[in-house]
Amino acid sequence: MDIALVGIGKIAVDQHVPSLKGSSDWDLAATVSRSGTVEGVEAFTSFDEMLEARPEIRVVSLCLPPVPRFDYAAKALAAGRHVMLEKPPGATLAECIALEEMARDKGLSIYATWHSREADKVAPAKAWLADKTLKSLHVTWREDVRRWHPGQDWIFEAGGLGVFDPGINALSIVTEILPDPIHLQSATLSFPENRQAPIAADLAFFHPGGARVTCDFDFRQEGEQTWSMEARCEEGTLLLTNGGGNMYIDGEEQGEHHSGLDGEYPRLYAKMAELVRSGGIDMDLRPLRHAADAFLLGRRSVVEPFEF
């Protein structure tokens, strides 16, 4: 199937383009970007022009920042195209629900992707936890924003999510692997004095079984970077590291050792192909809802100014 990729920035170049090139489901048929291009692929600077010029492209994948994403998604659906959304699927919950309703009305597929859910050990972790009794789950998601989002000021603007931009990846894994629903009970969000989005967050969730579920998100982590979560159960301890790439049960590594995002984006595109073929919709908004709940309920603490 032909697909158009909209927003040719870092994540598109690093992940989307190689995944599409390596896929037997997809042909990258066009790009839309103010300045980015992909060699050998027709490049548009206007989304409207692409939609008009290439009616045979039935699917668009949007990897723009969250704030402008709704307009593009709504246009694509209005033009009868299936839509795949980078995480987070939008800047607000209400717009995501509106998009889902539009897609449903038009019989189109829409997919709110959560790439971290496709990390190699997320499915095995979910399977292991399914019949265990959880005592605690602690998430440590600490990275250096200067290293992973160099100069990306939008991430600290209103709607840019701040540390919840990576943190929502952790929330997407937590909501996938835990069999029980959780909800936020208390949170502290640390806002740099000169910024509109938090640089760190501590979250504590209610769990129906009484387990302690907590998250420590921090964008100021120099040196070693940590994307891990530890689930202590009555039956043993599960540790996911490396953003879900590696898994240990009681200290013993399970399966192959992975590094980085290997396989995440290829699996997302395989799922999108499946959704389009079956006319399906996948708009699980739980990770974004927990983030919104954290902004709604969280205590705000002001911390020192941040500059890239």
Return the axis-axis angle of helices 286-297 and 164-177, rounded to nearest 10°. Answer: 120
Residue closer to a second copy by CB (options 181, 255) is: 181
Residue closer to a second copy by CB (options 57, 62) is: 62
- Alpha-carbon span 144 to 150, nearest angstrom: 9
- The mark string for 7-26 relative to a second copy (x by CB under 8 A, - otherwise) is --------------------
Residue closer to a second copy by CB (options 21, 183) is: 183
Q: Kindly tell me which residue out of 10, 104, 147, 299 binds a second copy, with binding defined by CB under 8 A.
A: 299
- Nearest residue to 185 via CA among 158, 204, 169: 204
Residue closer to a second copy by CB (options 235, 293) is: 293
Assess 158 for contact with a second copy (CB under 8 A). Answer: yes
Tokens of 230: 């530890």
Tokens of 203: 């979250």
Give the nearest distance from C-beta 9 to a second copy in angstroms. 21
Active site residue 87: yes
> Would you call the peptide bond into 88 cis, given omega within 30 degrees of 0 as the criterion?
yes
- Nearest residue to 45 via CA among 80, 4, 87: 4
Assess 214 for contact with a second copy (CB under 8 A). Answer: no
Give the nearest distance from C-beta 274 to a second copy in angstroms. 27
Which alpha helices (H) appear in 153-263, and where do they start and end? 164-177
Assess 62 for contact with a second copy (CB under 8 A). Answer: no
Q: Tell me the window of 119-127, 148-156, 233-241, 283-291 that interacts with a second copy (CB under 8 A).
A: 283-291
Residue closer to a second copy by CB (options 95, 216) is: 95
- Alpha-carbon span 1 to 249, nearest angstrom: 40
Q: Kindly tell me which residue out of 183, 204, 255, 257 binds a second copy, with binding defined by CB under 8 A.
A: 183
Contacts of residue 21, Cβ cutoff 8 Å, sequence gap at least 6: 28
Terminal alpha carbon distance of the chain? 40
SS3 state at 59: strand
Q: Kindly tell me which residue out of 248, 293, 303, 306 binds a second copy, with binding defined by CB under 8 A.
A: 293
Q: Catalytic: which of 87, 106, 135, 271? A: 87
- Nearest residue to 117 via CA among 248, 286, 257: 286
Q: Which of residues 85-104 bind a second copy (CB under 8 A)?
A: 91-95, 97-98, 101
Contact call for residues 278 and 272 (beta carbons, < 8 A): no
- Alpha-carbon span 307 to 82, nearest angstrom: 39
Assess 194 for contact with a second copy (CB under 8 A). Answer: no
Residues near a second copy (CB under 8 A) are 70, 91-95, 97-98, 101, 158-159, 181-184, 186-187, 191, 196, 206, 208, 286, 289-293, 295-300
Active site residues: 87
